[in-house]
């Protein structure tokens, strides 16, 4: 006879409150859409000014806050507005990020600085801000950080970007190790090329066509194909998963 330990086979997220950075577009917007469909109240933090219009379109269970994740005051304001509006935080999804690609001999110092500030420190500081709240308030929360397949394998002209995403993966494991005793799960998701606005800009054309031939599935990912795994990791069905980097790459990294 099977014994069950509380895993939620319905993957329910009903009644939870989530912060999604970078939630006004791309993977973040797809995640926000899915969360709302599953009964989650969502606060979108995004650097774009249209975050307010995006949140308004989603309805009363969504709040938009303009934020620069590199600024301490913005991060604190995002948490405060979430608590003021919805009273708690159960989930944090860090989708905010940036990319700059160049060869290792040509990569610019300012690109390194910007990538490290947003992808590494911005992600860490959001983890720290929300993690501190969860610990102090005994919240059994879930955090998902968006990394990349570039954090696991070597890709041409990706040195600075790849280093930052490898940092996110390492960060995720350490936070999971430290915060597991508080009931907080921390995981990362590492997509292949995703057909966001940035994905189309970088990979439409011959280079993208050639890259897709190296992926066993033969294509790039759609944003909802990343949102689904994020929602799974935040659900009770993933209650024993923490410190894991989930590659959503159509099999590219199995080579």
**pLDDT tens digits for range 181-196:** 999 999 999 999 999 9
147 in any annotated domain:
yes
The candidate with the shortest Cα–Cα distance to 27, out of 12, 14, 44, 50, is 44
Annotated catalytic residue, options 4, 52, 161, 252 = 161
Is the residue at 167 inside a domain?
Answer: yes
Mean pLDDT of 147-157: 93
Is 161 noted as a catalytic residue in this protein? yes
Query: Per the domain annotation, does 127 fall within a domain?
Result: yes
pLDDT for 10 beyond 50: yes
Distance between first and last Cα of the chain: 39
Please report the pLDDT score of residue 5 as a whole number: 54
Q: How far apart are CA 228 and CA 171, in angstroms?
A: 22
So what's the pLDDT on residue 228?
A: 97
Q: What is the pLDDT of residues 230-241, one digit of tens each?
A: 999 999 999 999
Residue 203 is assigned to a structural domain of this protein: no
Cross-strand pairs, 185: 142
Q: Tell me if 130 is assigned to some domain.
A: yes
- Assessment of whether the complete model's pTM goes beyond 0.85: yes
Sorting pLDDT into bands at 50, 70 and 90, what band is 100? confident
Rg (Cα) of the chain, in Å, rounded? 18
Query: Structural domain of residue 99, as residue ranges?
Result: 17-192+224-248
C-alpha to C-alpha distance for 91 and 97, rounded to whole angstroms: 18
**Partners of 45 in the β-ladder:** 21, 65
Convert the pLDDT of each residue in 39-67 to its tens digit. Answer: 999 999 999 999 999 999 999 999 999 99
Residue 3 is assigned to a structural domain of this protein: no
Count up the domains in the chain and report the number. Answer: 1
Position 6 confidence tier, pLDDT thresholds 50, 70, 90 = low
pLDDT value at 20 more than 90 = yes
Is residue 10 domain-resident?
no
Instruction: Kindly report the CATH number assigned to the domain that includes residue 129.
Output: 3.40.50.720
**pLDDT tens per residue across span 69-99:** 999 999 999 999 999 999 999 999 999 999 8
Please report whether residue 63 resides in a domain: yes
Which pLDDT does position 1 carry in this prediction? Answer: 39
Q: Quick check: 2 pLDDT over 50?
A: no
Closest listed residue to residue 144, CA positions, set 34, 250, 222, 62: 34
Kindly report the CA angle at 227 between 131 and 99, in degrees rounded to 5? 75
Q: What is the pLDDT of residue 104?
A: 92
């Amino acid at each position: 006879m099977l014994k069950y330990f509380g895993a939620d086979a319905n993957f329910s997220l009903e009644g939870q409150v989530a912060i999604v950075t970078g939630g006004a577009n791309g993977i973040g917007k797809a995640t926000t859409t899915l969360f709302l469909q599953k009964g989650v109240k969502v606060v979108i933090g995004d650097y774009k000014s249209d975050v307010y219009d995006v949140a308004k379109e989603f309805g009363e269970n969504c709040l938009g806050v303009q934020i620069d994740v590199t600024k301490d005051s913005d991060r604190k304001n995002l948490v405060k507005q979430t608590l003021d509006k919805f009273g708690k935080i159960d989930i944090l999804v860090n989708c905010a990020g940036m990319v700059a690609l160049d060869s290792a001999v040509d990569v610019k110092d300012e690109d390194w600085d910007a990538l490290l500030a947003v992808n590494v420190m911005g992600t860490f500081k959001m983890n720290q801000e929300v993690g501190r709240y969860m610990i102090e308030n005994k919240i059994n929360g879930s955090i998902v950080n968006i990394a990349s397949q570039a954090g696991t394998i070597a890709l041409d002209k990706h040195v600075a970007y790849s280093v930052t995403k490898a940092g996110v993966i390492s960060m995720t494991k350490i936070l999971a190790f430290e915060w597991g005793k508080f009931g907080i799960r921390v995981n990362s998701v590492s997509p292949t090329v995703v057909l966001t606005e940035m994905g189309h800009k970088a990979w439409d054309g011959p280079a993208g066509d050639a890259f897709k031939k190296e992926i066993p599935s033969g294509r790039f990912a759609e944003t909802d194909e990343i949102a689904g795994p994020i929602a799974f990791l935040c659900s009770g069905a993933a209650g024993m998963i923490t410190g894991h980097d989930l590659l959503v790459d159509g099999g590219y990294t199995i080579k």
